[in-house]
Structure 1
């Protein structure tokens, strides 16, 4: 407003009293601009706005509604006020900006002087304390020897000795701590090296023959030394070479013995639990020592001393007796295994020794060749061969039917059913089936008549049955030789991935809508009703089995996903175990597909053929597959539970009545009873 008024006076008034009066008014307005602005706002701006906004409304007394014109007026007045303050605000900003460096410099000077004053006050306080001490010493006079300051030298000597003793003790403890760390790291590195490929490379390197067929090194200069008259030197060299070769052979034998001991140690150490390694005395001593060094408190040191004393004086008589009993039982199992091994070796020697398999193979090939030559050269030999083969097949069929009837009568005792020679039921069935397949290979099936077109399909079905039995035998063999030892090793060593896998499998079983035993009973009942073509009261069992299958397959799919990203030991073990059952299940489906082929009318009169065809219907096959799934999950869970029980007995954490180790037959019984026997009976 002031610049506008000034320009107005410049235009209208150029000189005279009026101009001077206007300048005086402007100066007065500048000096009292705050008061003038307040008065203008109170008596000019607000009445003008209220008068302008209220004109023509025709209302009085009541609260007035704000209109768009009021808003525009308020915005216009705000713009006017902002324009009035803009000039002063710019000046004030420039003033503050110019004075800020001076304020900053003054503040820095004040902080510096304040620090100097504080240090001077501290020194003054120290000087006052020293002055007070001097006054106190002067006050003692001739009795200065009784002042505590007189003995400060002796106290400082005692303090220095105690401090040096503490520092020496700390250095000794740090050295012991480093020794513990070195021992622990050396053990970890040695274990990693022995469990890796390095040990096997050493064994292969020193497993060669000690006999050295190379020519002695002095043989090349023998003639030269003899001609030079150095026969005695040649004799000494040859003697030294012989002694060196003898020492080399002894060293190699010693290294080979050490490597053999290392191999045995590694085989045993793989069963050592990780928890015992974590609670070993050296590890615990290292833990206690680190705690004492970290705290440096007398109370903590006394507590650590008590813990070390308790650890060294701890006695576990009950656990020791239990572990000794476990060891005696293992020795008895080992002795029994050695007896069986000796019997197997004697039987192998009677059958031809290590070349027994080659001899039998040669005899088999020779017999096949002789039969082929005889059939080709002799007239009527083909029909004679057919009669002999059919007769032998009838005898084999009779024996197989006897075995099947015995298996059905044995029930749960089938797992212990053996022949007179001590062979298990499954091995006998597989051997008879293999004989039947070999006999069928001698028949001229390509010459069958048009009415016998189903005969090749029947022979193919017999071969599939033989392959199924062979897969069952292979399942039993692979489980007892690969899966079971690996499971025992991983569970005994407390592998985290294996323990996690067992926990997840148990979670799948617990989350099953029906307990596995009840579910199995319901499925078998449902199967019996379907076989009799009756309405089953357990129709919902298959839905529960489907839910169990989904959870189990989800666990396997998670294992497969981890396998693509780097599979753990637990997942590999579960996938390998399940793969054995999956191969048998695939073979059973192939055999069921062959059984669904149309049968000649004459064959339908045979009970076994009609029953097999009836059991191969899709509805019954789905129930059988659910039964086998439940049996599979049961077998896997029972095997891992037995391994966990043996591991707890091995560490002495299992009650005495249950701490006896299980032999191979007991550990294989869940697979034989739950799956193999069910597959054979059904």
Structure 2
């Protein structure tokens, strides 16, 4: 509102009539705001309404004229006027030319196809003319040749007939040879496709899934039994007999089919177990693949040179004497290896029988019975029974602690010989697992019958449990490496799997590129640790950084291999065999490291208070224990252990690769003379060395230390002052405090307090001894079963490799019989498969005939039941039972259809709908919606203060002030939308 407009309102200006009119208009609009907002909301979704604020092309400009009034009131220059006239004349000329231009366009479009047709006809005529001219020229040449032959009786043209006959014979022979080659190529392609299909089945392991499905098929359910009575009463006994006989015959044939199928799948699985040991590239070197390649090359180039080259390739060169000797040596080594493993398995079973571990049920029941005996003793004698059992538990735990300390001291004295140390025929780590299992059992019983009362007891119990978990993870590392990693790794390296070969090369590069050899790095870290313990200046601080970088490089190699093979296997959705082997091996080490971290955390919360370390078992254990309380020393130990982990992984794969015999035909003679057979004990020793290093670095003495701490806490709980007892007896250089003395003092105090009968502690000790013996047998049984299972798996692997070796070098081994052939032979398996296929084909015909016959009979029965159901409603139940029995064969199809229907998304659900109303979501104009919101705010009187609703007078006063403000000059002339 300009000053001129305000002056035109008269003397009152914006007051008086103008203000009253504004208030009346605004009051009317606010009263009818629901109608106005509803109308505007309808326009929001109207695509024909243009809400753009452009005054020249928008809806407001079209209705209100925009700024045309201002433009018409301004003076135009002559140049602008001429430009406008020129544009107007141009528009008029365009309108006049439009009709003729479109007509011309249609004529040109109609003429183009005809022109193209004429052009093609001209090209054909031109080609015919050129051909005629060429034929004419050839005719002239032939005429000259004939005249020359008439003049010369010795002309070569007179021998054309004989040469043509020879050419025809050669051409016919070549054509016949090509036909034979094409026929052979089609046959080879078919067999090659079938072989590749079988290879995919073997690689994916589908044969085992098929066998499981076949074995899960139940017997055929009878459907005629519910209606036999009805048919007999209806005079259709013969029909009932025929249905029942056909049903029995069909069930018998189906059982035969199931048996033959199961037998065939067993043969396929056996063949698969041998086939997976073939060379990784045998699909490309197979005779079918080679013949396919030769035939395709022959059909592409049927020249004499190519034929002679293919004949040369097809003639297999006889192997030299060194190669034959190498094959025979490997065959004998595999035979001897299988005999050796069988002998070891026999010794394991004899050992189990000698220790009474041949019956697992008896061993497990013995543990349960002795556990019930302990519970019965406590229940029968009440508090006295608990006290007596507590005394027995403390006495047994003291003896076990002393025995464990002696074993740890022996292990510490052997040094690197710990990897070969055996106790009672068991490897040291397995014997330690048995001892720790008994210690954990005692701690569990002690905690059950004497719950923790001191806050220090729970951390010590948790530390003992974590220590047992560390030993269990080490045992799992050794056991799974022997039963899974070595078996699978040996098989993959044996067949030359490219993924594991490249994996071994990359891991070897990590060690090769390291600035310091791993053995020297371990020696530097050991020296650095000793200097830190002696508080002397360290000399190998850079070894820590180098070891950390080496471990990080190993992790990067694992992540890179994983990422690369995930990308390459994304299409198939399966992991590569090399990746699975590496990841499985590395996860076993990660499990050990995780358990070690938990153990270190538990030990940090269970320090041994002074002066309890003066007890003999605690002092002797501290002499061989690792410095685990100091975080800096603990970090050096963990770094040293990680270096040994890297060394173990690299040595394992490098050793497996270097000793892989494989099926290399290009192997040098020097390599053939060496023993190429895998040595599982050598690979097991690599992993056992890591477990031994882990125990000797971190775990020696720790079981006795924790058990001593727990025993002293229980002694103090029984009523003696352990600290005062130790200080009173640990006097002078000869003063020593024995753990047994402390425990005996506590036991006497307990027996005196509870006034125990001398026979009760003896009975409790005897019961506990029987229970510990049963627990030890159970733990030994678990370890010997693991050993037997590992030997069985290794024997199966060696047998399959021996079969694969004999099948692959069948031609060579027929000439030199070295080891007896392994059963079954390939010919027997293929013969049995061929026989089973013939049986299946014959049974399939019988099943088809019986099914058709059975369907006809059941159709007749069902029809008679329907007739009878119409007159006798009681037949409806029999009809329903019969129909259910007949249609049971279609259940699989029905389920498949239901799965298809449920797995196929409905197209209607893809339509986007409102989550509340369910209506289809419409598109709205964002600018119009913004205008609608601002109109709503103004009609509610919240435009200048959203916190409250203004009155009509306040809103009119605010609007007049905004309109007369010079900063808002001429804003309201651009249409009505700026008002909002």
Give the 3 Å change call, closer, same or farther, for CA 205–153 of structure 1 in structure 2: same
Residue 307 of structure 1: aligned partner: 313
Residue 482 of structure 2: aligned partner: 480
Instruction: Report if aligned partners of 2:470, 2:596 keep a CA contact under 8 Å in 1.
Output: yes
1:168 has 2:176 as partner: yes
Residue 572 of structure 1: aligned partner: 580
Unaligned runs of 5+ in 2: 1-122, 698-980
1:671 has 2:679 as partner: no
Deviation at 1:461, TM superposition (A): 1.8
Instruction: Report if aligned partners of 1:649, 1:661 keep a CA contact under 8 Å in 2.
Output: no
Q: Distance in 1 between matches of 2:344 and 2:234?
A: 66
Residue 619 of structure 2: aligned partner: 607
Residue from 369, 373, 382 that aligns with 2:386: 382
Residue 590 of structure 1: aligned partner: 598
> Residues 180-217 of structure 1, C-alpha deviation per residue, up to 9 Å, x if partnerless?
2222221111111233353123211343699x696797
> Residues 104-144 of structure 1, C-alpha deviation per residue, up to 9 Å, x if partnerless?
xxxxxxx999999976764554343233223323424xxx4
> Residues 210-234 of structure 1, C-alpha deviation per residue, up to 9 Å, x if partnerless?
9x69679789759978998999x99
Residue 282 of structure 2: aligned partner: 276
> Residues 507-556 of structure 1, C-alpha deviation per residue, up to 9 Å, x if partnerless?
21211111112212222222222222222333321122122122112123
Q: Distance in 1 between matches of 2:244 and 2:127?
A: 92
Residue 674 of structure 2: aligned partner: 658
Instruction: Report if aligned partners of 1:419, 1:425 keep a CA contact under 8 Å in 2.
Output: yes
Q: Distance in 2 between matches of 1:403 and 1:657?
A: 44
Residue 188 of structure 1: aligned partner: 196
Q: Distance in 2 between matches of 1:237 and 1:519?
A: 84
Deviation at 1:390, TM superposition (A): 2.0
Instruction: Report if aligned partners of 2:404, 2:435 keep a CA contact under 8 Å in 1.
Output: yes
Residue from 149, 153, 159 that aligns with 2:161: 153
Matches within 5 A, 1:534-549: 534-549=536-551
Matches within 5 A, 1:390-409: 390-409=394-413
> Residues 362-383 of structure 1, C-alpha deviation per residue, up to 9 Å, x if partnerless?
3354245335425xx3444334
SS at match of 1:648: coil
Give the 3 Å change call, closer, same or farther, for CA 115–342 of structure 1 in structure 2: closer
> Residues 303-343 of structure 1, C-alpha deviation per residue, up to 9 Å, x if partnerless?
2222222x2x4225433432333233333333333344445
> Residues 77-103 of structure 1, C-alpha deviation per residue, up to 9 Å, x if partnerless?
xxxxxxxxxxxxxxxxxxxxxxxxxxx
Instruction: Report if aligned partners of 1:595, 1:613 keep a CA contact under 8 Å in 2.
Output: no
SS at match of 1:184: helix
Instruction: Report if aligned partners of 2:443, 2:461 keep a CA contact under 8 Å in 1.
Output: yes
Residue 660 of structure 2: aligned partner: 647
Q: Distance in 1 between matches of 2:362 and 2:659?
A: 38
Give the 3 Å change call, closer, same or farther, for CA 116–307 of structure 1 in structure 2: closer
> Residues 46-94 of structure 1, C-alpha deviation per residue, up to 9 Å, x if partnerless?
xxxxxxxxxxxxxxxxxxxxxxxxxxxxxxxxxxxxxxxxxxxxxxxxx
> Residues 437-496 of structure 1, C-alpha deviation per residue, up to 9 Å, x if partnerless?
21122335997898x543433232222111111111111122222222232233334333
Q: Distance in 2 between matches of 1:530 and 1:473?
A: 31
Q: Distance in 2 between matches of 1:379 and 1:243?
A: 72
Instruction: Report if aligned partners of 1:454, 1:600 keep a CA contact under 8 Å in 2.
Output: no
Q: Distance in 1 between matches of 2:241 and 2:349?
A: 50
Residue 361 of structure 2: aligned partner: 355
Deviation at 1:665, TM superposition (A): 2.8
Residue 333 of structure 1: aligned partner: 337
Instruction: Report if aligned partners of 2:224, 2:240 keep a CA contact under 8 Å in 1.
Output: no
Q: Distance in 2 between matches of 1:196 and 1:123?
A: 65
Give the 3 Å change call, closer, same or farther, for CA 657–635 of structure 1 in structure 2: farther
SS at match of 1:274: coil
Residue 46 of structure 1: aligned partner: none
Q: Distance in 2 between matches of 1:296 and 1:250?
A: 52
Deviation at 1:155, TM superposition (A): 2.0
TM-score, structure 1 normalization: 0.72
Deviation at 1:425, TM superposition (A): 0.8
1:441 has 2:444 as partner: yes
1:257 has 2:263 as partner: yes
Instruction: Report if aligned partners of 1:323, 1:650 keep a CA contact under 8 Å in 2.
Output: no
Q: Distance in 1 between matches of 2:263 and 2:363?
A: 32
TM-score, structure 2 normalization: 0.52
Q: Distance in 2 between matches of 1:128 and 1:449?
A: 123
Deviation at 1:629, TM superposition (A): 1.6
Residue 95 of structure 2: aligned partner: none
SS at match of 2:422: coil
Q: Distance in 2 between matches of 1:116 and 1:241?
A: 77
Q: Distance in 2 between matches of 1:229 and 1:301?
A: 75
Residue 646 of structure 2: aligned partner: 633
Give the 3 Å change call, closer, same or farther, for CA 116–483 of structure 1 in structure 2: closer
Q: Distance in 1 between matches of 2:227 and 2:448?
A: 73
SS at match of 1:333: helix
Unaligned runs of 5+ in 1: 1-110
Name which structure has the greater RCO, CA cutoff 8 Å, separation 6+.
2
Residue from 547, 551, 554 that aligns with 1:552: 554
Give the 3 Å change call, closer, same or farther, for CA 207–330 of structure 1 in structure 2: farther
> Residues 151-186 of structure 1, C-alpha deviation per residue, up to 9 Å, x if partnerless?
322322221221111111122122222322222221
Q: Distance in 2 between matches of 1:447 and 1:402?
A: 28
Q: Distance in 2 between matches of 1:114 and 1:352?
A: 100
> Residues 593-637 of structure 1, C-alpha deviation per residue, up to 9 Å, x if partnerless?
233344300233232554547334222222222222221122112
Matches within 5 A, 1:466-545: 466-545=468-547
SS at match of 1:647: coil
Deviation at 1:427, TM superposition (A): 1.0
Q: Distance in 1 between matches of 2:130 and 2:451?
A: 120
Residue 695 of structure 2: aligned partner: 680
Q: Distance in 2 between matches of 1:115 and 1:221?
A: 86
Give the 3 Å change call, closer, same or farther, for CA 383–602 of structure 1 in structure 2: farther
> How many residue pairs end up in the alignment?
561
Give the 3 Å change call, closer, same or farther, for CA 416–261 of structure 1 in structure 2: farther
Give the 3 Å change call, closer, same or farther, for CA 149–282 of structure 1 in structure 2: same
Give the 3 Å change call, closer, same or farther, for CA 648–463 of structure 1 in structure 2: same
Deviation at 1:671, TM superposition (A): 0.5
SS at match of 1:637: helix
> Residues 227-264 of structure 1, C-alpha deviation per residue, up to 9 Å, x if partnerless?
98999x99999999888766655554443332222112
Instruction: Report if aligned partners of 2:627, 2:634 keep a CA contact under 8 Å in 1.
Output: no
Q: Distance in 1 between matches of 2:504 and 2:281?
A: 18
Residue 141 of structure 2: aligned partner: 129
Instruction: Report if aligned partners of 1:177, 1:290 keep a CA contact under 8 Å in 2.
Output: yes
Q: Distance in 1 between matches of 2:124 and 2:233?
A: 100
Deviation at 1:561, TM superposition (A): 3.9
Q: Distance in 2 between matches of 1:151 and 1:448?
A: 119
Residue 908 of structure 2: aligned partner: none
Q: Distance in 1 between matches of 2:481 and 2:226?
A: 58
Q: Distance in 1 between matches of 2:240 and 2:444?
A: 73
Q: Distance in 1 between matches of 2:249 and 2:448?
A: 73
Q: Distance in 1 between matches of 2:679 and 2:124?
A: 86
